[in-house]
Structure 1
């Protein structure tokens, strides 16, 4: 099914590496402390999938706060506290980096099998991630040299690209690989990322259900949904 395409664009967290667990732990720590300081109800795991999963960090913070009816100023890039959207986002990022440096990260075995298969075809690969930590995560997992291009949150910021569910970061990666969208496959575990692949009119959008739900990924535009990338090799 996938071998008839020319290039492959992978989200990182939850698709190649289980960094979603590190992100979820960092978000939990950040919002537990924030909500406790305000006397709010504790953070719930469902809020990760509803507001944070697949979105750029600050956009996710703003979405979750809005869902709770909480308004904070945007703040500036150097904020590090509970008084702004950017302050909360930066505190979460600090927590994530600490966990990554302490524990490291390993790729999903099924994802490695698919990457090995694509490498045997010399297929060009890219990572398209909302995270601004994609480069250190790939290096920690020993995978950076597998990808010709990485379009992450840092690139999006530098180039003024809107984040998922807009298709711009995927389209930028396809351009860097020198392929048209209809010749490329998108792999995503978040509904917002699937929606981005669908909006970009990519040849195939594969949803990877790591918790978002098959129905939600299908509704967002996934052409096929799997629970592990190894299924695509069957």
Structure 2
């Protein structure tokens, strides 16, 4: 599938699975939590990706479980398990090539966890980053991308969203942005109508008069 051909005012990047991979770390923590709560981990754990932890817990509607407290405990555990977090191939160089005022990160992770994971992966944290703490309605609601675009001083419809998870893709669509899907962490690929790339190897950006455009070797 070909890359988007238009130029964009800014690029908005999801974090987990899009610019870094923390899947192993997250799934270890959530597997322990699921087993402790009598859940079938094999069925449950694949549902955690791309949404805020508190929403993942809340939708289970477990009796006697406080979603906010449980999510906080899960985040604390995840922050201690970052040894095998690494950037998606080519992500560091690609981000470094972008004008700093023309991109940001939009993540469903709490800010403290996002900072730890970005540091572990050796990736920069933009001052305009949107984290779970900043948005009452997480993905798939469009709020996070709308606020991110506003912070950058651009319209969401003039942004390209980089995503890997269904909830984030839906959020980007709802915000009116174009979406590019990163498939590096998906062994089976991703079923989507949006353009896809495996990673950032061979991906570069050209600054045009009307914005940023992608090219691929």
- TM-score bin, normalised by smaller chain: 0.7 to 0.9
**Correspondence for 1:182:** 157
**Correspondence for 2:63:** 72
Offset at residue 29 of structure 1 (A): 1.4
Offset at residue 89 of structure 1 (A): 2.1
Query: After TM superposition, which residue ranges in structure 1, 4 or more long, deviate above 6 angstroms?
Result: none
Q: 2:118 aligns with which of 124, 138, 143?
A: 138
Aligned equivalents of 1:59, 1:10: Cα separation in 2: 21
Corresponding residue SS for 2:20 = coil
Offset at residue 104 of structure 1 (A): 6.5
**Correspondence for 1:229:** 200
Query: Residues 8 and 185 of structure 1 are in contact (CA less than 8 Å); yes or no, is this contact kept in structure 2?
Result: yes
Corresponding residue SS for 1:118 = coil
**Correspondence for 2:33:** 30
CA shift in 2, pair 1:48/1:173, >3 Å: same
**Correspondence for 1:206:** 180
Corresponding residue SS for 2:196 = strand
**Correspondence for 2:78:** 96
CA shift in 2, pair 1:175/1:33, >3 Å: same
Query: Residues 61 and 89 of structure 1 are in contact (CA less than 8 Å); yes or no, is this contact kept in structure 2?
Result: yes
Structure 1 unaligned regions, length at least 5: 74-82
Which runs of structure 2 are paired with 1:33-72 in the superposition (5 Å)? 33-35=36-38, 42-44=40-42, 46-49=43-46, 51-63=47-59, 65=60, 71-72=62-63
**Correspondence for 1:117:** 97
Aligned equivalents of 1:166, 1:113: Cα separation in 2: 30
The answer to which structure has the higher strand fraction is 2
What TM-score, normalized to structure 2?
A: 0.80
Corresponding residue SS for 2:74 = helix
Corresponding residue SS for 1:130 = coil
Q: 1:84 aligns with which of 55, 60, 66?
A: 66
Query: Residues 25 and 84 of structure 2 are in contact (CA less than 8 Å); yes or no, is this contact kept in structure 1?
Result: no
The answer to which structure has the higher helix fraction is 1
**Correspondence for 2:139:** 164
With CA pairs under 8 Å and 6+ residues apart, which has the higher RCO, 1 or 2? 2
**Correspondence for 2:206:** none
RMSD: 2.3
Offset at residue 24 of structure 1 (A): 1.2
1:61-118 superposed Cα distances (whole Å, 9 cap, x missing partner): 233x25xxxx325xxxxxxxxx433343233222211112xx2633122222322333
1:128-184 superposed Cα distances (whole Å, 9 cap, x missing partner): 001002122223333235x2411001222xxxx310000001110000011111211
